[in-house]
A and B are shown apart, each in its own frame.
Chain A
Amino acid sequence: MSSIANIPPQFEIVDRPLDTQMTISMGPQHPSTHGVLRLELVLDGEMVVKATPDIGYLHTGMEKLFEYKKYQQGIVITDRMDYLNPLGNNLAYVMAGEKLLGLEIPERAQTIRVLMCELQRIASHLVWLGTHALDIGAMTVFFYCFREREKIMNLIEAASGGRLTPSYFRIGGLMMDLPAGFENRCKQFLNDFPRAVEEFHKLLTGNKIFQRRTQGIGRISAEDAIDWGLSGPCLRGSGVNLDIRRANPYSSYDQYDFEVPTEPDGDVWARYMVRMREMKESHKISVQALGRLKPGPVKADAPKVVLPDREAMKRHMDALIHHFLIVAEGFDVPAGEVYFPIEASKGELGVYMKSDGGAKPNRVHFRGPSFVNLSVLPVMAEGEMVADIVAIIGSLDIVLGEIDR
């Protein structure tokens, strides 16, 4: 291998036995790899002997870019990591910054954050459900999922102005308060959503083909799952009752009443059932959050960090000065380092943020749940059929934007 010989190799006819292993490359353009993931599969017939993920096709150096941007400019970069759960990324990033600054966030802002993150979690799970079913061959589910997701996208657009890249949370609170009429539209959506979940169950859960394609496939035990760092629904699908919202509560999640669904089997079906049940729990949290919304400020009382209101800027000199300084020079963050984990739709999303005291971070690192969950694929895929790889990838719910960053 190492010495590429100048002499051409001797031509020889190899008489291959029928059971020879074959190496094929799956992706990076394969539609069921959910992005640009390449798998190097060593096959024995149709059985997978070894699967090696090859990532990095979408690497854009985001972590490097953070070091050249002011803290508030970094928020828009986070949108583009896990683009199915951008509000979760926003939340982890801004809360890491708030931890360094020691900011207190008003209650209304925290409640809106919870509400928006849970809506986003439902939207993320809907994309997973639609594409997972599509991969396995059930096309109808996809349209039903995207119909519901569209309603959530409209809500997020109404609040933030963006659909896929909302950048709604800011260090110190929110970009702005919810628009008038949002609560009614949200209530309408939340009223209809349980019926939609029933529809998904009718379409898929009782389907014999779907069951046989998923049950007993891609098994991983609870011990292995923890050792491999699986998190989120994938870990709970192996029977481990772990949810960062419960374990290390943030943004007042400890005041909400919800269950952490777990399934014991550790296969594709278990991960499917966990996410289906999680959508109901997210719905439950959203309803509670909507009920808790009380009028109040949505930005922290920290004029050197949070942009002033438009009206105050027109009347008060100091507000204008603060606005100018924040926009032109940014704000200094005390030196130090924090690691802030949240429960994103795919698992533990941790932000490591290191400041050396200036207006730009010294280092920002994202512990992407997809990155870690994908590293487990070789373990799950070993000994499975090549067609089941598609089901296993779907059940891991990966987003390559977050893996490659």
Chain B
Amino acid sequence: MQAGPENIAPSTEPTPSSESAAPSPLVAALQREHSESISEVINAFGETTIVVPREHIVEACSFLKTSPETRFDFLADICGADRGPEEEPRFEINYHLFSTTKYHRIRLKVLLNEEDVHVPSVTGVWRTANWHERETFDLFGVIFDGHPDLRRILLPDDWQGHALRKDFPLRGYEPYSLK
């Protein structure tokens, strides 16, 4: 038996204690200016994830976009994830930021409970967030407050439910008919 995945994969357990000892410069910059917008830092697989309380997501994003150290001027992606109906917090919103001048990347993560799926929109920071947030709204039912045009984008306007939630069956509830 040779090294299987369990032997060669790096540890996935977040170790906040060791991270706080030597935070990456990107995290340090945010920590200095907006320490309230960091609730956890996870380093795994060579990627840095900052868990941001949702009320601070817009200020964290605009700081990371404009600060000369970080310069995250490019929002690569926003995608949701569902941890499952029994999990709490249930939903994750992942923001993948990229800098077109410094070439570094970071992930911001907002955790949401099922009863209150509201998160402030970042369309005011990057205009490209528009379609990403519409897609996340369409497939997960997350409401982006302040979005200029929050409509379904991939599924029809009269679609029932949100297709990428874990409790939505793969084949849907019933055959969809175009009435």
Contacts and interface: CB of A to CB of B under 8 A. Distances in A.
B96 interface: yes
Interface in B121-142: 126-128, 130-132, 135, 139
B114 interface: no
Given A65-B170, A304-B4, A367-B77, A350 B96 contact: yes
A371 B12 CA distance: 31
Interface stretch (A106-114, A180-188, A222-230): A222-230
Contact of A61 (B12, B96, B163): B163
A260 interface: no
Interface size class of A (residues with CB under 8 A): 35 or more
A390 to B, nearest CB: 22
A350 B170 contact: no
A352 interface: yes
Interface residues of B, number: 49
Q: Which among B4, B105, B130 has the highest number of chain A CB atoms within 10 Å?
A: B4
A229 B76 contact: yes
Interface string A214-251: 00000000000011110000000000101000011000
B96 A227 contact: no
A103 B46 CA distance: 14
Contacts of A31: none
A372 B47 contact: no
A332 interface: yes
A334 interface: yes
A404 interface: yes
A242 B100 contact: yes
Nearest to B11: A334
Interface stretch (A32-40, A274-282, A336-344): A336-344
A301 B170 contact: no
B77 A56 contact: no
Nearest to A229: B128
Interface in B31-52: 44-47, 49
A334 B9 CA distance: 7
Contact of B45 (A64, A338, A367, A405): A338
Interface of B: 1-6, 8-10, 12, 44-47, 49, 73-77, 79, 81-83, 94, 96, 98, 100, 103, 105, 107, 126-128, 130-132, 135, 139, 152-156, 163-164, 166, 168, 170
Interface of A: 55-56, 59, 61, 63-65, 67-68, 99-103, 226-229, 240, 242, 247-248, 301-305, 318, 331-339, 341, 348, 350, 352, 354, 362-363, 365, 367, 371-372, 375, 404-405
Nearest 10 interchain pairs by C-beta: A229-B128, A367-B77, A365-B79, A304-B4, A336-B12, A334-B9, A247-B103, A56-B154, A375-B131, A363-B81
Given A101-B9, A337-B94, A363-B164, 11 more contacts: A56-B154, A64-B163, A101-B5, A229-B74, A304-B5, A331-B5, A339-B105, A341-B105, A352-B79, A372-B131, A404-B154
